[in-house]
Amino acid sequence: MFFRLESPAYGSDYKDTFINGGGKYAYSLPGIECSECGNTWGGWETVPYPCPETMKGDKRLQQHWPIPDTEHHALRAAVLDAVVAEGHSVNNIPMGANFQPLHVRFPSTPRSDFLWPVIGSAIVSPRVKLLFETHGVTGVTFCEVVIDKVGKRDSRGPFPFPSTGEPEDIIEEVSGEQFPDRFGPLYEMVITSESGFPPGVSSSDVCTGCTRENYKENKRRIVLTQEMIPNSDVFTLATTLYIIVNERVQHMIVENRLTNAVLTSMPIESNGKKPAWLRFFSRC
C-alpha cells in the first residue's frame, strides 16, 4: 500500500498561510521557450545542492524569465559543469531546478512536524529528519532552510486578517521576532526518487527539445501501477508534484503522531483494472 503525503485542508487560505508561511528559492533555472514544440514553460524540481558560486552572478538564475531553448540548453550545461566542479556527483540538471537553500518566512511560530510553505515540498522538524534517518528511509535527503522571518504570533491562535485581503500579506504585516533562526533548524525534505511514467504515456509523448510531456490531457491519469513503483520508500509521482510514501513510512508518521500532514491511500492499479477503492485517511 502507498500513500500520498500532503498538507491538510485548512478551509481557509488565511489559516494555511498563517500556519505554513511562504517560501522562495533565491536561485532557479529560468523557463524555456521551445522552438520544437512551441511551448513556453517552466519546470519545478528542487535539487539537494546549491547554485554554484561561479553562476550566482547570472541574472537569468534569479529572474525565472523564460529564455530561448538554445540559450537554455547552454545555460543548463554551464550549470551542470559548475555543479560537478563543486564536487557534486550529478549527471543532469532538471529543466526547472530550484537550488538550495529555500528561504522561508512564517507569520507565526513554526510548531508542526510538517510545514508546507511552497507547492510540492515539505519542510520538516529535526524530529522528522532524525526519525527518517534513523530508520534509513530512502528516496529523501534533508537540506536546512534559511528562516528569514518568524512572526510574533501563536500558530494555534486566531489568524489576523491582512489589510490588503491577500493571504500572503499576513506574513508581511505581523511584526517579526528579532532572531528568527532560533526557531530552527528546519529542513526541506528533498525527494530524490521519481516513479515511472503512468500507463499510456510513451517516450514519443515527450518533446525532444525541452522534455515537456506533450501528451493530451485525457491521457494524463493519476494512477499508480506496479511497474511505476521505484525502489525507494518515498518518491514523487511522475507528471505530478505528489509525494508518495510506502506503508513503512506511513506507519512511522502515524505512530509518532507527526503533525500537520494528511496521508491518503493510493491504490495500485493492475492490468488497467481499478482496485477496490479502499480509501485510508489519516490526519495528524
Q: How far does Cα 95 stand from its chain's mean position? A: 15
Residue 34 binds to Zn ion (criterion: CB under 5 A)? yes
Nearer to Zn ion, 47 or 210 (CB): 210
Stretch that binds Zn ion, among 34-42, 176-184, 188-196, 226-234 (CB under 5 A): 34-42
Q: Provide the minimum distance between the beta carbon of 68 and Zn ion in the complex, in angstroms, as a whole number.
A: 12
Residue 32 binds to Zn ion (criterion: CB under 5 A)? no
21 near 115, Cβ under 8 Å?
yes
Stretch that binds Zn ion, among 194-202, 211-219, 242-250, 265-273 (CB under 5 A): 211-219
Residue 244 binds to Zn ion (criterion: CB under 5 A)? no
Nearer to Zn ion, 202 or 256 (CB): 202
Residue that the C-alpha cell 511551448 belongs to: 39
Of 143, 150, 153, 138, the C-alpha closest to 123 is 143
Distance CA 201, CA 193 (A): 19
Nearer to Zn ion, 146 or 201 (CB): 201
Nearer to Zn ion, 4 or 212 (CB): 212
Rg (alpha carbons) of the chain, rounded to whole number: 20
- Residue 103 Cα distances to 170, 200, 239, 270, angstroms: 17, 38, 26, 41
Residue 207 binds to Zn ion (criterion: CB under 5 A)? yes
Residue 37 binds to Zn ion (criterion: CB under 5 A)? yes
Size of the residue set binding Zn ion (CB under 5 A): 7
Nearer to Zn ion, 31 or 110 (CB): 31
Q: Provide the minimum distance between the beta carbon of 265 and Zn ion in the complex, in angstroms, as a whole number.
A: 35
Contacts of 54 (CB under 8 A, 6+ apart): 82, 85
Amino acid in the structure at residue 12: S
**The binder of Zn ion chosen from 196, 209, 230, 267 (CB under 5 A):** 209
- Residue 219 Cα distances to 36, 174, 209, 214, angstroms: 21, 45, 21, 10
Q: Provide the minimum distance between the beta carbon of 159 and Zn ion in the complex, in angstroms, as a whole number.
A: 42
Residue 210 binds to Zn ion (criterion: CB under 5 A)? yes
Nearer to Zn ion, 3 or 44 (CB): 44
Stretch that binds Zn ion, among 84-92, 194-202, 207-215, 265-273 (CB under 5 A): 207-215
Residue that the C-alpha cell 494524463 belongs to: 220
Residue 75 binds to Zn ion (criterion: CB under 5 A)? no
Torsion, Cα 79 61 212 237, to 10 degrees, reads 90
Residue 24 CB: number of other CB atoms within 10 A? 14
Nearer to Zn ion, 193 or 214 (CB): 214
* Positions in the binding site for Zn ion (CB under 5 A): 34, 36-37, 207, 209-210, 212
